[in-house]
Amino acid sequence: MHRGTVFIITKDKNNNFEVQKSTEFNGGMGIDCLGKVIYEKLRDLKEPLLFDAMIRDFDEEYFKYFDEVMTYVANSQERPFIDKDERSFFEYALNDSQFKFFKDDNEEYIYTSDSNYIKNMSDENITIVCSNGNYSLKPNQILIADYNECINNTKMTFGKKIDKMVKVDDLETREYIPTQKQKIIFDSVIETLKAFNYGVYTISENGMINGMEIETWTDEGVNMIHLIQFYENFMDIYDVKKINKQIEEIADNFFVDDEIDLHRESCDYRKSFSIRDSLEDFEEYEKKLKEMSKEFLNKYYKILYEKFIKSVDKEESKNEINY
């Protein structure tokens, strides 16, 4: 059954962001079915106070749940909801007008529907972090997400084109602001790669870094470039174990014979390298690549530990001065 949930983002009386969320409807809630109906109703909604009435009208016409509570104010990570078993739950995370409805700041998944319809009914631009980018919503724009993937700009839903009669907002993207934890992880990954004598060039798409090109040279000066990139979930770039897995795959898929064949297609290369030269050079590079694959995490954690020690020493020095 295709589930769907509707959100509106407003401001409360203190001018703070407030998220209202509908009950989850179960069945046909994709944009190619009943989701199209609720989407059009959401487009026509101009007054946040009528959100509950809109949801109840939709329910009466199509689902007939008739629940006592059909909409509620969602809780943020800063104001977690505590259930009867004293477990902490939250519906979204918010930092710098940057909403996370699908993964929190600790990279833990937040429960979402198959299709999610999110309208900005505040008076300022916001961004919503999705698996495929950081999307900006101007006032009254609506973001549609299949699970955690924004489909506004691709106009594709679960492998099918969205009906052209459905007017879907084209959304701008904004540069993603990583959390402090993410920044430390990513900076440490770059430092680790540089420790293995690789240059690092980041790759961005839809406002988010989702990959990097790493470059070095063999002992004999042959330029070697490898790609680390995440296509399905851009946030994986902040997961060191997933980066390490891609490095392992690069090493596992490096074949000396293939490299020799590839490079010897160049006339200039053939003039500079005999087959024996090529074999020795690429075999030596293969060893370095496999060494990095084997030792990457150890080197990464060592760099991370040294950063931690330096920060502790710095804090202690500051306390001594204050004392």
Give tens-digit pLDDT for 63-117: 999 999 999 998 887 777 776 777 777 788 888 789 999 988 777 888 889 999 9
Give tens-digit pLDDT for 115-174: 999 999 999 999 999 999 999 999 999 999 999 999 999 999 999 999 999 999 999 999
CA distance 130 to 124: 19
CA distance 150 to 232: 11
Q: How confident is the model at residue 321 (pLDDT cuts 50, 70, 90)?
A: very low
